[in-house]
Structure 1
Amino acid sequence: MFRGFATISFTADDLGAASAWYAELLGVQPYYSFPPAPAEPAYVEFRVGDDEDELGIIDRRYAPGSAGDGPGGAVMFWHVDDLPGTLATLLRMGAVEHEPLTEREAGFATASVVDPFGNVLGVMHNPHYLEVLAARRG
């Protein structure tokens, strides 16, 4: 039934600022924007990581439901090779610590931040992710 992560969507009041912030963080520009230029976009999407997972950002005016006044929703954790360095970059770029870097069992470690647009962004070191990646590469 569930085949893998497809897209995670964040929201932002200022889609242009969020798109620029994530482009700087990820080192890539969005590959998709709707509606197409010259119209002002209501949605942008990035492809990120080894499997080109999709990170979408929706203009909050078009987002389903309401998350209330604070950060919320599911926390999607992205594997990163340098968790302390990634966390430092996020904080330097204006994100605010949500959960500090926490060592877990068996080499797992997690942290999360709230981006400047109110979304919780999780990052982690995940040995299982690395094992699957190594097996895929043979």
Structure 2
Amino acid sequence: MNRQPHTSAREIIVADAIREVVSELRLVDVADYVAYIRLEYFANLSDIVDSAAELYFMPDTLRFGHGGDVDLGWSGEPTVNLDLQLRPKGATVYFTLNMTALKAGVEIGYVALDDPSPDPMENTRFLASALEASKIRRTVPLDI
């Protein structure tokens, strides 16, 4: 697949949007990810993603896609790859989250917009604002 020039900017936007969710996903033991992926217990993976996302996004904004993979060998650290979907109002982003113990990355496969503009930069700005609008806002009580 040919990468579009605007894909990198969108990957940064998605990575920033899910940063806190990734921290939650890392609380799950890597052995569980290995077992669920190898045994194709995708409902379990979906539950994990839903539980992590519900703290930060409106319901059904971030969902598990249809698969995953684990790179696990005798040398090196394991990498967990999860197919995910971000669905803020007006857009759907299909991407893969790659997680190791200390790093994570996002690889966008496809972005679908309900009403796309002919200007890719405008679409990128729309995606950023849609993701921001789909986040849950928490208010901190004042100590009075």
Q: Same fold (TM over 0.5)?
A: no
Structure with greater helix percent: 2
**Interval of TM-score (by shorter of Structure 1 and Structure 2):** under 0.3
- What's the TM-score once normalised by structure 2's chain length? 0.26
